[in-house]
Structure 1
Amino acid sequence: MKLVVGVSGGSGIPYAHAVLRALHDLNVESHLIVSSGAKRVMTAEGSGPQLPDLTALARHVHDDRDLAAGVASGSFRTDGMLIVPCSAGTLAKVAHGFADNLLARAAHVTLKERRPLVLVLREDPLPRPALLNMLAAHDAGATVMTASAGFYHAPRSVDELLHFVTARVLDQFGLDVPGFRRWREDGA
């Protein structure tokens, strides 16, 4: 399997790190694109994963300014793309086909080729423009998710909350993350 992983400027880089770690452990070929906004957020938040932590887990890393990268073309076959976290600005670009950087272009190509595109938002509260953009992205073919963990598995750490969101995101691509406990999985 080959997936494009976009990281945009919303707070929530630990979600990207957890997803990349899971893809690495599942031996999925990942193509990482980190926006300039995401790089600024990593620096500003400081204590979480940094760019080297993300790039070490990806099989391929693409510069967000390189609109000639393979992932910018529909002829470059992938099994889909996810953007985690997906900022409100990136959501708007995806919803309206504004492809001014590689991350937005790869998302546009993913939709154009009718491949799965998962946008994992980490913004609250959601103003009307974001809600309309979520609907537009959905109508264009994207799956819109929020980084919202369930609590039925009685998480005891932040890592367990990250694991839950990671597993739900990768479910969208038919990938099973080891150790993920599903609702009433025991048959109860």
Structure 2
Amino acid sequence: MKPIIVGISGATGIAYGVRALAMLRELKIETHLVLSVGAKMTVNEVGMTTQQIESLATHVHHQENFGASIASGSFRTAGMMVMPCSMRTLAAVAQANPYNLLTRAADVTLKERRRLVLLARETPLNQAHIQNMLSATQMGAVIFPPVPALYSRPSSIEEMIDYTVMRVFDLFEIEAPVRLPRWSGMADLTRPRAVNM
């Protein structure tokens, strides 16, 4: 498996990027991590330090290091996951206007026609957000809002996060190290389960 770039930008949902890094490490897949300044401000969401998150990656690149390997298309990767993807990051990708290494790596991923998955984190959306999502999609990115799949009947927040990460891995043809229920037809819905409202 070629290396994977993991970008974590400054939006709520840093847990998705952290969990992806942990799973990729378990699978022994080489990772290249870029944490934006904004992301470093949200590490308290997962109760970890920046150093603890960085320790999950094979390689860590400073967001201002435009000389990093991942800033060049000649460095071959399987693609990039931006987990979560802020609206500022999305705008930079959609407008091909990279302002840091994270957005430069995303731009390179697109120009090399590699897989780019953006876990866009914002709600509600304004017209500019939607237009940027369309532009990024037209350039080849996959917009992947981390919407929970409630049909899987998650029993915890961790399981909901794992399910989303598993589905992102599907887009890279990576077999996630977790086994969670997948949709297998309407018959699954006949199983009773208590739901607290």
User: Given the two structures, how large is their TM-score scaled by the length of structure 2?
Assistant: 0.90
Contact kept? 1:17, 1:49, Cα under 8 Å: no
Q: Kindly indicate whether the alpha-carbon contact (under 8 Å) linking 1:13 and 1:49 is maintained by their aligned counterparts in 2.
A: no
Q: Which runs of 5+ in 2 are unaligned?
A: 189-197
Superposition deviation, residue 53 in structure 1:
2.7
Indicate the percent of aligned positions where both proteins have the same amino acid. 42
CA-based RMSD of the aligned residues comes to 1.7
What SS does the corresponding residue of 2:7 show, helix, strand or coil? strand
- Corresponding residue of 2:111: 112
The answer to whether structure 1 residue 151 and structure 2 residue 130 are counterparts is no
Matches within 5 A, 1:78-89: 78-89=77-88
Q: Deviation digits for residues 10-32 of structure 1, max 9, x if unmatched?
A: 11111111111111111111000
Residues 63, 100 of structure 2: 8 Å contact kept: yes
| Segments ≥4 residues shifted beyond 2 Å | 45-50
TM-fit CA distance, 1:149: 1.4
Q: Is the 8 A contact 1:17 1:53 kept in 2?
A: no
Distance 1:55 1:122 in 2: 21
Runs of 5+ in structure 1 lacking a partner?
Answer: none
Alpha-carbon distance in structure 2 between the residues aligned to 1:115 and 1:46: 30
Aligned equivalents of 2:172, 2:102: Cα separation in 1:
19
1:66 corresponding residue in structure 2: 65
How far did residue 46 of structure 1 move?
A: 5.2
Verify the 8 A CA contact 1:11 1:122 in the aligned structure 2.
yes
The structure that has the greater radius of gyration is: 2
Cα gap change, 1:33/1:47 in structure 2, threshold over 3 Å: closer, same or farther? closer
- Shift in Å, 1:76: 0.5
Report the Cα distance in structure 2 between the residues aligned to 1:24 and 1:110, rounded to whole angstroms: 21
Match of 2:25 in 1: 24
Change (3 A) 1:50 1:121: farther
Residues 82-135 of structure 1: CA deviation (Å, up to 9, x unaligned): 100000000000000011210010000000100000001121111111000000
For 1:123-164, what per-residue CA distance to the aligned partner results, in whole angstroms no more than 9, with x for missing partners? 111111100000000001101100111012211111101111
Residue matched to 1:99: 98
1:133 maps to a residue whose letter is: N
Aligned partners of 1:15 and 1:84 also within 8 Å: yes
Question: Do 2:14 and 2:46's aligned partners in 1 also have CA atoms closer than 8 Å?
Answer: no
SS in 1 for 2:130: helix
Q: Residue 141 and residue 152 in structure 1: after superposition, are their counterparts in 2 closer, same or farther (change >3 A)?
A: same
CA distance in 1, matches of 2:45, 2:111: 36
Give the match for residue 164 of structure 2.
165
Alignment length, in residue pairs? Answer: 186
